[in-house]
A and B are shown apart, each in its own frame.
Chain A
Amino acid sequence: MRDKELEAKLRLVGLQLDNWKKLHDLITYGLDKAKPIISSEQERQFTEIRSNLLQETEYILRELNIVAEVSGKAMSVLQRGVSVRGVRDLPGDEIRRLEGDWNAAFTKLGLKQGQLKARRKELAEQSFLEYYWIQLKNRYFRRPATAH
């Protein structure tokens, strides 16, 4: 059984994670004092990735139903990291905050991807009939939650 909606979500989360990884690579490069040269090509790539993330993050997080948890952190990373050179010039506490927020957004997206993949695996093991039987069972025979 293949769920179209699930596949679309997996694709979106994959694209989003890919962009966060690329952004991290450039941030890491910017923070590495042993690599003094920041090329215009790297700055161009950074702007490109940042632009993609700014356009897509809100939409993807909404599709994945994790706007409340991740949106603030994601926006904080995108607002602090304006360019590779800009990241290099950030003060120490801002860098730590940037890394912390990046990590929080990345972790949440990674977890979501894992959950979606697990769901896909579950569905792949179910036949078409089994899938609809479970849906029906949940709809009509589910016990109401008991109050404690």
Chain B
Amino acid sequence: METRLLVLNPDPVFQDRVLAILDDNAELEIQIVRTLSEAVLALLDENFDGSILEGEEPVILEQATDIRQHFPSLRIACLLNDRRSPEIEAIGSEQNIELLTLPRSDRRLRANLNSFLRSLDSHPGTAAEGIDPCHSLIGNLNLFSAAEILQMSCLSQRSGRFTFKSSRGNSEIYLQQGSVRHAVFGSLEGEAAVAEIFRWRQGRFYFEEGIISQEQTVNRPWAHLLIDNLQKLDETLELLGV
């Protein structure tokens, strides 16, 4: 399975050193975009395993932070010069953005890029799925978005476990009496995981009635989550007009 990488570079024609190295990797599918709005559009439509940002330091860090706010599970790397201020390091670790150095030597650059690419290789892929009689609701996210399904289940006061499966991985949302009790997607938990799943438009889902989580990572009523996430989605779409 190919690793899909989104490269945000405002000047990909003349700054093609990184791209030339990435071209060597046959297992890599690259999409190049020049602006943040193009990047957001691509990320909304497709499943990328990671993103690399190139360009001028303050601009790419701001763009990476914007992308992080809207795509919490995406692996992001910024290519920066050797000399970095502690503030930049702090932003990187706070926003979970990998700061890769852009050395003069191609060998070192290749090593830096390969270490980032290796970290993307552990993508989960689509899990095999069978229809189980205990699944009380099964469907496709192309037809119903995760938000619509959760809205319907919460309104009808359901308790149970939703499993969402897409090429991004599997995630679970536990409901109890029409409220979201626990959500998990990869390393994300709670509201961050709900926010991520909320945007999915590809994949499958099923619901198993009566499975309740002991853990509680979400404490707000569904209506609040819905409004917050719709607002967040609006903000993401606003970036398209930047």
Report which A residues bind B (CB closer than 8 A).
Answer: 2, 4, 7-8, 11-12, 14-15, 41, 48, 52, 55-56, 59-60
State in angstroms the CA–CA spacing of A41 and B242 once bound together. 9
B107 to chain A, nearest CB (A): 16
A interface secondary structure, majority: helix
Nearest-CB residue, chain B, relative to A57: B13
B55 at the interface (CB under 8 A from A): no
A2 to chain B, nearest CB (A): 6
Q: With a CB–CB cut-off of 8 A, which chain B residues contact A2?
A: 23-24, 26
Nearest-CB residue, chain A, relative to B25: A2
Quick check: A4 and B20 within 8 Å, CB to CB? yes
State in angstroms the CA–CA spacing of A11 and B29 once bound together. 12
Q: Assuming A8-B16, A60-B13, is B24 touching A15 (CB within 8 A)?
A: no
Interface size on B, residues (CB 8 A): 13
Nearest-CB residue, chain A, relative to B31: A14
B61 to chain A, nearest CB (A): 21
Interface residues of B in 1-54 (CB under 8 A from A): 12-14, 16, 19-20, 23-24, 26, 32, 34-35
Quick check: A59 and B24 within 8 Å, CB to CB? no
Encode contact with A along B50-73: 1 for CB under 8 Å, 0 otherwise: 000000000000000000000000
User: Which of A11, A48, A52 interacts with B19 by CB under 8 Å?
Assistant: A11
Q: Assuming A2-B24, A4-B23, is B12 touching A15 (CB within 8 A)?
A: yes
Q: With a CB–CB cut-off of 8 A, which chain B residues contact A12?
A: 13
State in angstroms the CA–CA spacing of A2 and B22 once bound together. 12
State in angstroms the CA–CA spacing of A56 and B16 once bound together. 13
A11, A15, A41, A59: residue with the most chain B Cβ atoms closer than 10 Å:
A11
Q: With a CB–CB cut-off of 8 A, which chain A residues contact B14?
A: 55-56, 59
Nearest-CB residue, chain B, relative to A19: B34
What are 12 of the A-B contact pairs (CB < 8 Å)? A2-B24, A7-B23, A8-B19, A11-B16, A11-B23, A14-B32, A15-B12, A15-B13, A15-B32, A48-B35, A55-B14, A59-B13
Beyond known contacts A4-B24, A8-B20, A56-B13: 20 more, CB 8 A cutoff: A2-B23, A2-B24, A4-B20, A8-B16, A8-B23, A11-B12, A11-B16, A11-B19, A11-B23, A12-B13, A14-B32, A15-B12, A15-B13, A15-B32, A41-B241, A48-B35, A52-B34, A55-B14, A59-B13, A60-B13
Nearest-CB residue, chain A, relative to B37: A45
State in angstroms the CA–CA spacing of A55 and B34 once bound together. 14
State in angstroms the CA–CA spacing of A55 and B35 once bound together. 17
Q: With a CB–CB cut-off of 8 A, which chain A residues contact B16?
A: 8, 11
Q: With a CB–CB cut-off of 8 A, which chain A residues contact B35?
A: 48
State in angstroms the CA–CA spacing of A2 and B24 once bound together. 8
Q: With a CB–CB cut-off of 8 A, which chain A residues contact B12?
A: 11, 15
